[in-house]
Amino acid sequence: MTKWLKKTFVTLVTVLTFGMFSPFQAVQANDEPVEKTSKNDAFESKQSQSVQKEKFDLSYHETNQKQSPKQQFLQTAIEIGQQQSWQKFGDRIGPVIENEFETIILPKIEKAIMEVTEQFNDEDIQHLTISQKPGTGKSEKIFHIYNEKTGKDIIRFHVRRDLRPLEGYWFNFHYHTFHDHYQTHHELGDIFWDKNTPPNWPH
């Protein structure tokens, strides 16, 4: 674009929008290529979407009424579980482990939720609900599914930081169930972090 055309364009934009649109932005949009979204920006966008979703009541009572109570609960639990995971990781850890978490860990979380769901009839499953806040600092908690009638956890999804000699830090994903009073670690998988200590989980 020639200088005089550029000046004319800037003047027209300024006049027509009464100064509400920045001439610099107009020229920049015309002359510069659009920047590619960084991995961190993409993760922050995903976090933002999750936060927006949390503002809505994701109760299975409000999902598709054509689904059975088990299907409704499963869908809701998976959605909230994902949201709690992104909130747990934060914008420092999340972008680093995001791909492996989605391809390796998340499908196993969904399978574990499905197996738990199968143990309850349609009436009892309506008493199950999902925790709304992951653990912070060094807490292992991602999210729990519990019986709101009894207050007892049914399944607990956790992530632990492991330091392996000569290797560095790994995130170990696992879950516990009420069947053995949460004693057994049911493995979901490991994701490598770095040789440096990972930051604490955000508040």
pLDDT tens digits, 103-157: 999 999 999 999 988 889 988 999 999 998 999 999 999 999 999 999 999 999 9
Q: Model-level pTM?
A: 0.70
Per-residue confidence (pLDDT) for residue 80, from 0 to 100: 93
Rounded mean pLDDT for each run of 10 residues along the chain, 203 residues in total: 44 44 39 48 56 43 66 91 94 95 96 90 92 94 95 96 96 94 94 96 91
Write out the DSSP string of 6-32.
HHHHHHHHHHHTTT-S-HHHHHHHHHS
How much is the mean pLDDT over the chain?
A: 78
d(CA 142, CA 24): 44
